[in-house]
């Protein structure tokens, strides 16, 4: 463990380094030279910050009362661990330094009776255990990274276009984990977040108890849509010296949800930041997630619930179930088919009339859009039925069915009077920013679990909630310690949403 020498010695060494280099820095009179001076000074300051953090860590880890408190919290908790002795470990810091600590308390799982492990050197030893350093864990230090460094890594990997781009950004701050280690830390964090989110939503669905009434009395808009990414499925390939290689990468549809509130004029309310989340699950999983969030946020007491979407049957077939589970009357639910999807369907009808000129197409579209905007769906259906003849009648009949089953969801004149949004631009934008700009691309193939984790993190990143998500995750992992310090407080992930 580093020495806990007087803090003044750290500043003295820093001051000596500054004075030693000052004569060189003052001669940096070119753009390139002055840039190098800036970077060098910033590097020294980061090094100073890391030395101060190391000093603080040493003080905390050697504090007798802290050691007693951690030991007491462990005994009172339900953690089935046993004393593993004292081990050396390293901790990576935000400034890029690595601190090595000797003789830190180490805990490992209790042995199960009658199931001795393998002897060393004989066969494979299996996966690593959930052993940990409790005093470091109490400070939020997991995966040998300080909490601030972990947050920075998660932000960079999720916001950059690739892991390589994230590593380039981190390297400018003298932080370089290597590609494999960077991914390993990120995936461990993301899988923990997904598990925590699923468990909390499951608890809410079972209890049916809201965690807040932030949506009470509000006009709430919900929407869902899907994107496209490639999911990697490993398979047996050609045999080589290192094993069998090969995988398939089929296109799959990640689904994204959004929840936001609007005022009486139909404008987005700034008091509640739009909520996003995503999953690789099926339609039932998406609505289960949406239901859980609405219950947790008090959606049952919303003034009005507006469900926006395209014409996909999987959305509208589940709205009644959503109403029942959330506990909101169907009279307070308004269903809206996205205007632009409806207009695009009109264009598909026109294109099916291959013999029409552009002028004929535009004339028909103008009249059809006018009827659609006025909410005169019956008159529009007459116009469409008139085209259901000839070789293309089957194709046009398919589009006719789209309008027939969505008549009540296309009352755009009424929606305009009530200041209800008619476009699903919010969810379309969310899919583009959350999915397309990070998970979709040439040669991007995702393992399903990793894609699920990235969807969650990207969703909370784009809604400005990622910091709260990561803080909640650390507190949940340290529930044994947080409950010891603040037994009466609730530290749930969903509690970060309001």
Q: What is the pLDDT of residues 89-113, one digit of tens each?
A: 999 999 999 999 988 888 887 766 6
DSSP secondary structure letter of residue 268: B
Does the pLDDT value for residue 296 go beyond 80? yes
What are the tokens at 277?
A: 């989340």
Rounded CA-CA distance 48/262 in Å is: 48
Whether 275 and 364 share a structural domain = no
Q: Which domain holds residue 285?
A: 208-338+423-463
Condensed to tens digits (0 to 9), the pLDDT of residues 31-41 reads 999 999 999 99
DSSP string, 105-157: EEEEEPPPTT-PPPPTTSS---S----B-HHHHHTT-BTTB-HHHHHHHHHHH
Whether 452 and 325 share a structural domain = yes
DSSP secondary structure letter of residue 121: T
- Reported as a pLDDT band with limits 50, 70 and 90, residue 498 is low
Point out the least confidently predicted range of 237-241, 262-266, 441-445: 237-241
Q: What angle do CA 472, 475, 480 make, to 5 degrees?
A: 150
Say if 120 falls within a structural domain. no
pTM above 0.75, yes or no: yes
Of 114-123, 235-244, 391-400, 457-466, which has the strongest mean pLDDT?
457-466
DSSP secondary structure letter of residue 177: -
Does the pLDDT value for residue 9 go beyond 60? yes
- Reported as a pLDDT band with limits 50, 70 and 90, residue 3 is low
Rounded CA-CA distance 417/378 in Å is: 20
Whether 297 and 321 share a structural domain = yes
Q: What mean pLDDT is predicted for residues 112-133?
A: 61
H helices within 234-376, ranges in order?
A: 283-296, 313-316, 319-326, 339-352, 358-373
Whether 324 and 434 share a structural domain = yes
Say if 250 falls within a structural domain. yes
CA distances from 442 to 71, 244, 450 (A): 51, 24, 17
Judge residue 30's burial from the number of C-beta atoms within 10 Å of its C-beta, 0-12 exposed, 13-18 middle, 19 or more buried: exposed
CA distances from 387 to 348, 367, 374 (A): 12, 14, 21
User: Can you name the residues that pair with 260 across neighbouring β-strands?
Assistant: 221
- Number of folded domains in the chain? 4
Say if 482 falls within a structural domain. yes
Whether 308 and 441 share a structural domain = yes
Exposure string for 239-269, b = 16+ CB within 10 A, e = fewer = eeeeeeeeeeeeebebbbbbbbbbeeebeee
Percent share of the chain, pLDDT over 70: 90
Judge residue 102's burial from the number of C-beta atoms within 10 Å of its C-beta, 0-12 exposed, 13-18 middle, 19 or more buried: exposed
Give yes or no for a contact between 323 and 329, defined as CB atoms under 8 angstroms apart.
yes
Rounded CA-CA distance 67/61 in Å is: 7
Whether 325 and 225 share a structural domain = yes
- Tokens 């008090």, residue? 298
Whether 313 and 433 share a structural domain = yes
- Tokens 């809410």, residue? 204
Q: What is the pLDDT of residue 130?
A: 63
- Reported as a pLDDT band with limits 50, 70 and 90, residue 488 is low
Whether 334 and 344 share a structural domain = no
Does the pLDDT value for residue 274 go beyond 90? yes
Mean residue pLDDT across the chain: 88
Q: What mean pLDDT is predicted for residues 393-397?
A: 80
Say if 72 falls within a structural domain. no
Rounded CA-CA distance 205/287 in Å is: 12
Whether 170 and 106 share a structural domain = yes
Say if 418 falls within a structural domain. no
Q: What is the pLDDT of residue 1?
A: 54
Which secondary-structure segment (H or E) carries 69? helix 64-76
Condensed to tens digits (0 to 9), the pLDDT of residues 317-366 reads 999 999 999 999 999 999 999 999 999 999 998 888 777 888 999 999 99
What's the number of CA atoms in the CB half-sphere (13 Å) around residue 317?
A: 6
Point out the least confidently predicted range of 5-9, 138-142, 419-423: 5-9
Condensed to tens digits (0 to 9), the pLDDT of residues 428-469 reads 999 999 999 999 988 899 999 999 999 999 999 999 999 999
Point out the least confidently predicted range of 86-100, 125-139, 205-219, 316-330: 125-139
Whether 353 and 233 share a structural domain = no
Does the pLDDT value for residue 2 go beyond 70? no
Give yes or no for a contact between 400 and 348, defined as CB atoms under 8 angstroms apart.
no
Q: What is the pLDDT of residue 345?
A: 92
Q: What is the pLDDT of residue 416?
A: 94
Does the pLDDT value for residue 419 go beyond 70? yes
Condensed to tens digits (0 to 9), the pLDDT of residues 168-195 reads 999 988 888 889 999 999 999 999 999 9
DSSP string, 10-66: HHHHHHHHHHHHHHHHTT--SHHHHHHHHHHHHHHHHHHHHHHHHHHHHHHHT-HHH
Q: What mean pLDDT is predicted for residues 57-74?
A: 91
What are the tokens at 147?
A: 């909490």
Give yes or no for a contact between 210 and 293, defined as CB atoms under 8 angstroms apart.
no
Whether 440 and 306 share a structural domain = yes
Gap between the terminal Cα atoms of the chain: 41
378 alpha-carbon distance from chain centroid? 43
If you count them, how many residues does the chain have?
498
Rounded CA-CA distance 265/417 in Å is: 10
Whether 331 and 345 share a structural domain = no
Rounded CA-CA distance 397/365 in Å is: 17
Say if 333 falls within a structural domain. yes
Say if 302 falls within a structural domain. yes
Q: What is the pLDDT of residue 238?
A: 63
- Reported as a pLDDT band with limits 50, 70 and 90, residue 124 is low
Say if 1 falls within a structural domain. no
Among candidate residues 436, 410, 437, the one with its CA nearest the CA of residue 423: 410
Rounded CA-CA distance 391/318 in Å is: 35
């Amino acid at each position: 463990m580093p020495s806990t020498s007087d803090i003044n010695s750290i500043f003295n060494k820093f001051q000596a380094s500054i004075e030693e280099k000052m004569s060189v820095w003052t001669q940096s009179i070119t753009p390139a030279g002055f840039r190098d001076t800036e970077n060098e000074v910033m590097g020294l300051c980061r090094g100073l910050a890391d030395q101060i953090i190391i000093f603080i860590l040493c003080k905390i880890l050697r504090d007798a009362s802290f050691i007693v408190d951690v030991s007491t919290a462990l005994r009172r908790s339900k953690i089935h661990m046993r004393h593993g002795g004292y081990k050396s470990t390293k901790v990576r810091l935000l400034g890029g330094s690595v601190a090595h600590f000797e003789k830190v308390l180490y805990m490992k799982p209790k042995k199960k009776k009658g199931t001795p492990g393998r002897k060393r050197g004989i066969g494979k030893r299996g996966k690593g255990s959930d052993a940990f350093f409790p005093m470091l864990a109490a400070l939020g230090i997991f995966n040998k990274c300080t909490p601030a460094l972990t947050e920075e890594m998660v932000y960079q990997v999720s916001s950059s276009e690739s892991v390589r781009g994230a590593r380039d950004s981190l390297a400018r701050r003298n932080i370089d984990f290597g590609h494999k280690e960077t991914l390993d830390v990120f995936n461990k964090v993301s899988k923990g977040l997904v598990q925590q989110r699923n468990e909390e939503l499951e608890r809410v669905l079972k209890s049916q108890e809201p965690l807040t009434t932030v949506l009470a009395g509000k006009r709430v808009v919900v929407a869902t849509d899907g994107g496209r990414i490639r999911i990697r499925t490993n398979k047996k390939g050609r045999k080589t010296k290192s094993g069998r290689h090969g995988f398939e990468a089929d296109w799959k549809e990640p689904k994204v949800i959004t929840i936001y509130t609007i005022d009486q004029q139909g404008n987005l309310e700034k008091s509640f930041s739009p909520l996003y989340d995503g999953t690789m699950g099926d339609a039932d999983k998406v609505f289960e997630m949406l239901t859980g969030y609405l219950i947790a946020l008090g959606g049952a007491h919303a003034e009005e619930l507006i469900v926006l979407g395209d014409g996909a049957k999987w959305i509208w077939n589940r709205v009644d179930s959503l109403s029942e589970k959330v506990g909101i009357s169907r009279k307070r639910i308004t269903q809206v088919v996205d205007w632009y999807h409806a207009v695009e369907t009109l264009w598909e009808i026109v294109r099916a009339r291959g013999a029409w000129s552009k002028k004929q197409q535009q004339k028909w579209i103008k009249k059809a859009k006018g009827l659609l905007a006025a909410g005169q769906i019956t008159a529009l259906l007459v116009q469409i039925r008139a085209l259901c003849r000839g070789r293309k009648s089957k194709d046009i009949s398919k589009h006719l069915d789209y309008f027939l089953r969505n008549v009540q969801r296309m009352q755009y004149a009424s929606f305009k009077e009530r200041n209800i949004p008619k476009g699903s631009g919010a969810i379309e934008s969310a899919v583009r920013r959350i999915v397309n700009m990070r998970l979709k691309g040439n040669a991007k193939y995702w393992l399903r679990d990793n894609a699920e984790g990235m969807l969650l993190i990207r969703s909370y990143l784009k809604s400005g909630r990622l910091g709260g998500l990561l803080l909640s995750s650390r507190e949940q992992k340290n529930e044994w310690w947080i409950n010891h310090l603040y037994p009466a407080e609730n530290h749930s992930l969903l509690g970060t949403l309001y």
